[in-house]
Amino acid sequence: MKNSKTIFALLGWLSTQPHSGYELKNLTERYVGEFWYGSFGQIYPLLRQMLEEGLVTMHEERDTGHPPRKVYTITGAGRAAFERWMQEPPEEDLFRSELLLKLFFGHLAKPGALVEQVRAALDSARAKLTYYERLHAMLSEQYAGTPDLPFMLITLDRGMIVNRGYVEWAERTLETLKGIHPQEVRDEP
Amino acid sequence: MKNSKTIFALLGWLSTQPHSGYELKNLTERYVGEFWYGSFGQIYPLLRQMLEEGLVTMHEERDTGHPPRKVYTITGAGRAAFERWMQEPPEEDLFRSELLLKLFFGHLAKPGALVEQVRAALDSARAKLTYYERLHAMLSEQYAGTPDLPFMLITLDRGMIVNRGYVEWAERTLETLKGIHPQEVRDEP
DNA sequence: CGTGTCATGTAATCAGTTACATGATTCA
DNA sequence: TGAATCATGTAACTGATTACATGACACG
């Protein structure tokens, strides 16, 4: 697990204030979950490793909750590592889609087999879009004036543009499928 | 390696005609590489597994090339498995982006540190777009009238729409970054 | 009284990549 | 002469997920 980039996501959160592993997992899921992830099974061992490497320090907080909360604080070495990473060119985006794989071989499918799947993708893209639009308004209000807001909006903006494209594509694809097997694709009864 | 969906990509190719592992790797890379992958180290063991499960048969062709070519043919069981998979709802698309992760924490970066990275992403999106447009013309001509053409174009269409969005986003993001640190972001001299 | 949240961690397993080994043929 | 293509495969490793274990507290 030496070379996990998830380390830098954690250092990013810790740059502003100390956090426990539990918090780091939830922050990651909520704020960057659309383009980066890390399970507990990954994050806990990662934090121990970062501690050994001197990127963070740790102190326990044993108040009421029974497994004592382990709170991590970034060190100078941690900040240096984070800044170095920021300057490096990023890995290429990773994208994998089982739906597209099926569509590519669509001529081998029973007529209509893929229509429902595209329709489901369309629904989920539309749902994401409206969610993003609400989130945009919420964040703009809640983080107004803070230096991190514009950067949060940049990533959100990407989600919105891509999903708008996705909706457009799915609608067009349904039309195309309708043209190939006209009798199989009906509008909702 | 029991549950690799890559099996179905291979069965898809074999549905039309027999192929060797080497060919299957290259077909996958060329035609669906934008949304599905499999290395030799994955595909060769997978083919052996599929043989054991009776999804394919194999016969060797020892003519001139020295490691004898192993050609795989799909069986009835293979076709059945492929059709069943076609009907199943697909896994969610997988997306991961280190660039977006960096941008999310962009307020912690040295001014200008991310500009080059966004610019590079813009270049690569533009390059992909023009490549896709050429590919579209080429495929339309080469596969004119075949039943698989519309399905190839569906997947290509997704790539084009998404990349158009990506270009739009990157251009806008560069403007935004310019607004945050005006002195750091200059136009090309 | 049960579900959800807080909170930590480990062990088993998984899909997949990388590096290595082998070797002929073709093309510049 | 040396790189690219054809062609197969294995072993080591890696990043990550899943399932499990433990247990208190709060809310409805």
Kindly report the CATH number that applies to the domain delimited by A6-87: 1.10.10.10
pLDDT at residue number A181? 75
Partner-chain residue, chosen from A93, A103, A117, that has the shortest CB–CB distance to B99 = A93
Mean pLDDT (chain A) is 93
Q: Percent of chain B beyond pLDDT 90?
A: 88
CA B1 to chain centre: 20
Which residues in chain B are closer than 8 Å to A100, comparing Cβ atoms?
A: 32, 35-36, 155, 158
Backbone angles phi, psi at A64, to 5 degrees: -100, -50
Report domain extents, chain B.
Answer: 6-87, 98-180
Tell me the Ramachandran region of residue A96: left when phi exceeds 0, alpha when psi lies from -120 to 50, beta otherwise. Answer: beta
Specify which residue's alpha carbon is closest to the C1' of nucleotide D11: B41
pLDDT at residue number B181? 76
pLDDT at residue number A189? 43
A98-117 residues touching B, CB cutoff 8 A: 98-110, 113-114, 116-117
Global pTM value = 0.94
Asked whether the predicted pLDDT for residue B155 surpasses 60, the reply is yes
Asked whether the predicted pLDDT for residue B24 surpasses 60, the reply is yes
Amino acid identity, position A43: I
Q: What's the whole-number mean pLDDT along residues A78-96? A: 97
Amino acid identity, position A167: V
pLDDT at residue number B67? 78
Of the pLDDT bands very low, low, confident and very high (cuts 50, 70, 90), residue A188 is very low
Rounded-to-integer distance, Cα A157 and Cα A155, Å: 5
Query: Across the interface, do B110 and A101 touch by the CB < 8 Å criterion?
Result: no
**Contact present, B75 and B56 (Cβ < 8 Å):** yes
**How far B38 CA lies from chain A's nearest CA (Å)?**
11
Amino acid identity, position A44: Y
Please tell me which residue of chain B has the smallest CA distance to A95. B95
Q: Can you give the three-state secondary structure of chain B, one letter per residue?
A: CCCCCHHHHHHHHHHHCCEEHHHHHHHHHHHHCCCCCCCHHHHHHHHHHHHHCCCEEEEEECCCCCCCEEEEEECHHHHHHHHHHHHCCCCCCEEECHHHHHHHCHHHCCCCCCHHHHHHHHHHHHHHHHHHHHHHHHHHHHCCCCCCHHHHHHHHHHHHHHHHHHHHHHHHHHHHHHHHCCCCCCCCC
Residue A74's nearest CA partner among A4, A28, A27, A13 is A13
In whole angstroms, C17 C1' to B90 CA is 24
Rounded-to-integer distance, Cα B40 and Cα B10, Å: 12
Rounded-to-integer distance, Cα A42 and Cα A25, Å: 10
In whole angstroms, D16 C1' to A169 CA is 32
- Asked whether strand D has any atom less than 7 Å from the CB of A49, the reply is no
pLDDT at residue number A186? 46
pLDDT at residue number B2? 75
Asked whether the predicted pLDDT for residue A183 surpasses 70, the reply is no
**Contact present, A37 and A60 (Cβ < 8 Å):** no
> Is A32 at the interface with chain B, CB within 8 A?
yes
DSSP lists the bridge partners of residue A56 as A74
In whole angstroms, D5 C1' to B5 CA is 28
Query: Across the interface, do A97 and B94 touch by the CB < 8 Å criterion?
Result: yes
Specify which residue's alpha carbon is closest to the C1' of nucleotide C16: B42
- Asked whether strand C has any atom less than 7 Å from the CB of B4, the reply is yes
Query: Across the interface, do B96 and A98 touch by the CB < 8 Å criterion?
Result: no
Q: Can you give the three-state secondary structure of chain A, one letter per residue?
A: CCCCCHHHHHHHHHHHCCEEHHHHHHHHHHHHCCCCCCCHHHHHHHHHHHHHCCCEEEEEECCCCCCCEEEEEECHHHHHHHHHHHHCCCCCCEEECHHHHHHHCHHHCCCCCCHHHHHHHHHHHHHHHHHHHHHHHHHHHHCCCCCCHHHHHHHHHHHHHHHHHHHHHHHHHHHHHHHHCCCCCCCCC
* Torsion sign (Cα): B80, B81, B86, B88: positive
- Taking only the tens place, the pLDDT of each residue in B107-153 is 999 988 999 999 999 999 999 999 999 999 999 999 999 999 999 99
Which residues in chain B are closer than 8 Å to A161, comparing Cβ atoms?
A: 165-166, 168-169
Q: What's the whole-number mean pLDDT along residues A40-53? A: 97
Amino acid identity, position B112: G
Which residues in chain B are closer than 8 Å to A101, comparing Cβ atoms?
A: 5, 8-9, 12, 32, 35-36, 90
Asked whether the predicted pLDDT for residue B186 surpasses 60, the reply is no
> Is B89 at the interface with chain A, CB within 8 A?
yes
Of the pLDDT bands very low, low, confident and very high (cuts 50, 70, 90), residue A182 is low
Tell me which of A62 and A145 has the higher pLDDT: A145
Amino acid identity, position A121: A
In whole angstroms, D6 C1' to B32 CA is 22
> Is B30 at the interface with chain A, CB within 8 A?
no
pLDDT at residue number A171? 98
Q: How many CB atoms lie within 10 A of CB A10?
A: 27
- Asked whether strand C has any atom less than 7 Å from the CB of A102, the reply is no
Q: Which of A121-130, A175-184, B66-75 has the highest mean pLDDT?
A: A121-130
> Is B61 at the interface with chain A, CB within 8 A?
no
Q: Which of residues 4-33 of B touch strand D (CB under 7 A)?
A: 20-23, 26
Nucleotide nearest to B44 (CA to C1'): D9
CA B170 to chain centre: 21
Q: How many CB atoms lie within 10 A of CB B186?
A: 10
Q: What's the whole-number mean pLDDT along residues B68-91? A: 97
